[in-house]
Amino acid sequence: MAEAESQTLRTDTLPPEAISEELAPTIAELGLEDNCRELVEQGYTVVRNVSSPEFNQRLREAIIRTAPGDDPTQPRGSNMAMRLDPVIAEAVLNPALMAMAEFTVGRGHLISQVATSVLPGGSGSVGLHADQNWLPAPFPEHNMITTMCWATDEYSQANGCTHVVPKSHLLRRHPTEEEMETREGIVAIECPAGSVAIWDGSIWHTGWP
C-alpha cells in the first residue's frame, strides 16, 4: 500500500499544458482558455480588459504618485510596490492574473516582486534575455516564473513595449550572444491600456527604446 501511494505521488504532476480540474471552472468563467493555450504554445499572451477604465486610471495615478523622483526626463519606478498603495495590491490580486499564475507556475505560487515603471520618451532598453536567468540550461519543462506587465498606457512599439521571440521558450535555454544581437523573429506585444501582457520565464524578450 505504501509503495503504491509513493508511486502515485511521483506521477501525479500534470503536463505543462494541462489545466487542473480544480482550476478549470475558474479559467472557463473568466474566459482564459485561449490565453492558457497561447502561453503554452507561443510563450506569451495578453489578457485584455482585466478591469474597468476607471480602475486602470486609478492604478496609473498611483504608480506615478509613488514613484520617487521628479525629473520628467529620467525613468523612475518602485520595487516592492504592493505595499505602496492599496490599488496596486488590488491590481496584483486581480482574479484573472491569479488564475493565470496558478495555471503556468502552479498552485501555491509566490509573488516575488512587484515593480512599477514610469518611462519618459527616449528611455533605453535592456538586452534580449530570459527571466529564469538564475537557472542553467536546459530550463525545467515546467515553468518556474511568470512575468505580468499591466499596461496603464497603450502598449505599443512607439511607447517602448516589451518584444518577444515567440516559441523561444521551447528551446529551454538562454539566447546566445549572436541571438541577442540579431533578435531574429522578434515581435512587439501591442495591446490597449488596461491589458496585461504575460510571458513565460523561459521566453526571450526585451524592452524597446
46, three cell numbers? 495578453
Helices then strands, each counted (H, E), the chain: 7, 8
CA dist., res. 35 & res. 13, Å (int)? 21
What are 63-85's pLDDT values in tens digits? Answer: 999 999 888 888 899 999 999 99
Taking only the tens of pLDDT, the chain with its 209 residues reads 555 555 555 557 889 999 999 999 999 999 999 999 999 999 999 999 999 999 999 999 999 999 998 888 888 999 999 999 999 999 999 999 999 999 999 999 999 999 999 988 877 778 899 999 888 899 999 999 999 999 999 999 988 899 999 999 999 999 999 999 999 999 999 999 999 999 999 999 998 88
3-state SS track over 91-130: HHCCHHHHHHHHHHHCCCCCCCCCCEEECCCCCCCCCCEC
